[in-house]
Structure 1
Amino acid sequence: MTHPSTLARPARPARAQSGDRVDSLPSRAARGLPAAMVTAVGLFAAARLTGVLVLAATAWATGRNPLYLLGRSWDSAWYLWISSHGYGRTFHFSPTVVHSDLAFFPLYPAVVRAVTTLTPLSSGVAGLLVSWLAAGAAACGIYAVGAHLHGRAVGTTLVLLWALLPHSVVLSMAYTEPVLTAFAAWSLYAVLTERWLWAGTLAALAGLARPNGIAVAAAVLAAAVYEVGRRRRGRKVPHRLWTGAALAPLGWGGYVLWVGVRKGDPLGGYFEVQRLWGSRFDFGAGSLRFAKHLLLHGDRFVFPMTMVIVAAGVLLYALLLADRAPLPLLVHSGVLLLIALGGSGFFESKPRFLLPAFPLLLPLARALVRTARARPWHATVVVGALAGLSFAYGAYLVVIAHTPL
């Protein structure tokens, strides 16, 4: 199969030579986005609501409060503290283990603070509201990317698969992955449709949401470099492209620099904060040691499950490469996968770090659509199995496992 561009796969009419996009010439799938998106978001909402109901039933059966578990588990408690009190919270567990709230990026707690200021909601409820709305916006963006590249059926299936990932319970919690994914999806869609200012602005906001938000900026920058090289042959490079590329890394870089200045080391301060948490990039040495431990000695179910999910992510990335996916999607997913594989500490959190890497699901979405057309019953069984795994494993993670997500 041949592709007209590394940036955007579907064939489109010829673009004007002087501008960086032509609004009057959208793809056929893009023209129907608002109406067709309703089905995709409805499926996403139904899947996540069912997952929450299973979690709630499990929590009630064990005497736990499901709303508390969803709103104040693990990292959620840190984010809600920052939203209420600002930065400055530190726990000294030992001289070499110091947990500082400076490890957490500021966008999500700032939005939660705005909601609690403007409404009578508590911080926990506000955190859930922000996450749920962001998850819906992310589902819309994921659909937009899938439909733009491969049509509405693939876009809808892509959203459904994302909603049924084993760790998709995080999308229903007061966590930052829904916020990051929302900005990532729409930034990637903006790149694919050559809306460079939007791409850069959304990438900057993604960089303020999470440490691995740098993957979105990397995707925008890679696409911009490719486009500049492609336009060298007599085509003018619009200022929007340069401006979007310049904006993309500002959110992530700005927060890392701010933490560094606050810690007295502008370039290394943030990474020292992460090191004291036990998180650092060691090119996968820590992950390999832990995988060896699992193979030789075993451990709780969540750890081998993590290894299987990460291995599946590597396989899916290979399929994405073989499918010659657009460059921004390859860079975005590749950087997220590299951070998950190469980082040490909190091994059980690696699947959560891959939640924003939704392009990895594109080969599965396309295969499932083909299966549904040829053998609908087979596709139904696959979706049912994924749903059962997602709902049961999500309840296990939050209610029973007692390990950081």
Structure 2
Amino acid sequence: MRSSLSRGATIAAAYLAVRAVGVLIWWALTAINDRVNPAPWDGDWYLRIAELGYAGAGEGMTDADGVASPHGAMAFFPGYPLLVRAAAHLVGGHYLALGIAVSTLAGIAGAYGIARLTRQLGGGRRAELVAVVLTAAAPMSVVYSMPYPESLLVALVAWTLVALLEQRWWLAAACTVAAGFTSPMAGPLIPVVMAAGFVHLYRSRARMAGAATAVMVAPLGMLGYLLWVKTTSGVPGGYFEITERGWGNTVDFGAVTLEWVVRAFTERRDAFVVLTAAAIVAAVVATLFTRMPWPVWLYTAGTVALIVAHSGLVQDRVRLLLSAFPLLIIAAIRLARGRPRTVVLAVAGICLAGLWFGAYSVAVWPYGI
């Protein structure tokens, strides 16, 4: 018991320490560039939804083209802002502070899930710690300390994957519904949970109720929100038309992404563009050549495919790649096999690079993330 508590405290402390370093780098770059806004871009939307609801959140706000849209807030899923709103009702306080607190607490929960998933994928205690540290310092992990839903989504996905590998179907069902209510990036998770449930039902007669429940309820969080947007907004295409109009999001099977990557490597571009293109290519290659249990691999492949296949803003792709965190877990398991000094130096270098990238994207890069 004492050992488990100690290990849990170590995981939380490691996550918070890395995020603290990331925040310090972020603050340093914002001070150098005289650009301080702790809730830029999407963060503004989420906080306004939390405070004003969907009806009032869009007033005075514009989409990616600078155009006011009465339904623009509906492009942002409600799971995260509802948590912030609930926190405001329970403890009061400033919405920005509450948003950061919710993100931080969700990040800690995600760290525990990542450590547990690392064990399920064959890693030891050192690998668990390395996986948590790499995830906390991943490129664009700066949003884990901002009013963004990524830390909540990662936590829900991590615990869903743990539940699938451990065949804890009720937990898988609950986390999948919540993830689908939190972000469209939960899309690849839903068919994975349903497929795993079907496979279990086919192979085993035991614990059928839980698996059957997971199959049936997994899509309900996302489908419920999409149906609400369709009926409430009156827009013919619902959520999909709103995001296409305001943010150019549609499925183009990778045409925009491919053009971005080719131009990034062949024309003069700044660091953010080149590193974003490199991250996309690295994620695709790593997914193709990384071995994992099939539910984890299928989720990761679906996530990377979704990121590559949709059009719209390319500069947020590294942020979306945070959802492909199983790739970092596999990297952590392999890194942890080295000599302790080598592991420390390699992890420190990787972390500093990732934390700098996130800080740069918010404090220096002039566009949305």
TM-score normalized with structure 2 length: 0.91
1:348 aligns with 2:315: yes
Deviations 1:351-381 (A, max 9, x none): 111112211123311211111xxx3332222
The letter for the 1-side match of 2:287 is Y
1:404 aligns with 2:365: no
Choose from 42, 46, 58 the match for 2:17. Answer: 46
2:112 maps to what in 1?
140
Structure with greater Cα Rg: 1
- What is the rounded CA distance, in whole Å, between the counterparts of 1:146 and 1:34 in structure 2? 18
1:270 maps to what in 2?
239
Choose from 160, 165, 184 the match for 1:187. Answer: 160
Secondary structure in 1 aligned to 2:181?
A: helix
After TM superposition, the structure 1 stretch with the greater mean CA deviation from structure 2, 107-116 or 386-395, is: 386-395
2:336 maps to what in 1?
369
- What is the rounded CA distance, in whole Å, between the counterparts of 1:33 and 1:204 in structure 2? 29
- The 8 Å contact of residues 141 and 322 in structure 2, kept in 1 or not, is answered as yes
2:343 maps to what in 1?
379
- Residue 57 of structure 1, CA deviation: 2.3
The letter for the 2-side match of 1:154 is A
After TM superposition, the structure 1 stretch with the greater mean CA deviation from structure 2, 145-154 or 278-287, is: 145-154
- What is the rounded CA distance, in whole Å, between the counterparts of 1:302 and 1:165 in structure 2? 15
Choose from 332, 335, 359 the match for 2:302. Answer: 335
- What is the rounded CA distance, in whole Å, between the counterparts of 1:275 and 1:74 in structure 2? 17
- What is the rounded CA distance, in whole Å, between the counterparts of 2:271 and 2:334 in structure 1? 29
The letter for the 2-side match of 1:245 is V
- What is the rounded CA distance, in whole Å, between the counterparts of 2:186 and 2:104 in structure 1? 19
- What is the rounded CA distance, in whole Å, between the counterparts of 2:277 and 2:364 in structure 1? 19
- What is the rounded CA distance, in whole Å, between the counterparts of 2:109 and 2:52 in structure 1? 28
After TM superposition, the structure 1 stretch with the greater mean CA deviation from structure 2, 96-105 or 243-252, is: 96-105
After TM superposition, the structure 1 stretch with the greater mean CA deviation from structure 2, 141-150 or 36-45, is: 36-45
Deviations 1:12-65 (A, max 9, x none): xxxxxxxxxxxxxxxxxx997554232222211111101111211222333344
Structure 1 residues 212 and 32: CA distance shift in structure 2, 3 A: farther
- What is the rounded CA distance, in whole Å, between the counterparts of 1:312 and 1:94 in structure 2? 30
TM-score normalized with structure 1 length: 0.84
How well do the aligned residues superpose, as a CA RMSD in angstroms? Answer: 2.3
How many residues were matched structurally? Answer: 362
1:55 aligns with 2:20: no
The letter for the 1-side match of 2:10 is T
- Residue 97 of structure 1, CA deviation: 8.8
1:37 maps to what in 2?
8
Structure 1 residues 302 and 31: CA distance shift in structure 2, 3 A: same
- Residue 248 of structure 1, CA deviation: 1.1
After TM superposition, the structure 1 stretch with the greater mean CA deviation from structure 2, 53-62 or 352-361, is: 53-62
Structure 1 residues 132 and 95: CA distance shift in structure 2, 3 A: closer
- The 8 Å contact of residues 200 and 217 in structure 1, kept in 2 or not, is answered as no
- What is the rounded CA distance, in whole Å, between the counterparts of 2:78 and 2:111 in structure 1? 23
- The 8 Å contact of residues 200 and 244 in structure 1, kept in 2 or not, is answered as yes
Secondary structure in 2 aligned to 1:354?
A: helix
- The 8 Å contact of residues 161 and 295 in structure 2, kept in 1 or not, is answered as yes
- The 8 Å contact of residues 128 and 174 in structure 1, kept in 2 or not, is answered as yes
Choose from 223, 238, 253 the match for 2:196. Answer: 223
Secondary structure in 2 aligned to 1:299?
A: coil
- What is the rounded CA distance, in whole Å, between the counterparts of 2:155 and 2:66 in structure 1? 38
1:3 maps to what in 2?
none
Choose from 258, 275, 291 the match for 2:261. Answer: 291
- Residue 344 of structure 1, CA deviation: 0.7
1:149 aligns with 2:121: yes
- What is the rounded CA distance, in whole Å, between the counterparts of 2:157 and 2:344 in structure 1? 29
1:309 maps to what in 2?
279
- The 8 Å contact of residues 141 and 189 in structure 1, kept in 2 or not, is answered as yes
Q: Specify every segment of 5 or more residues in structure 1 that has no aligned partner in the other structure, as ranges.
A: 1-29
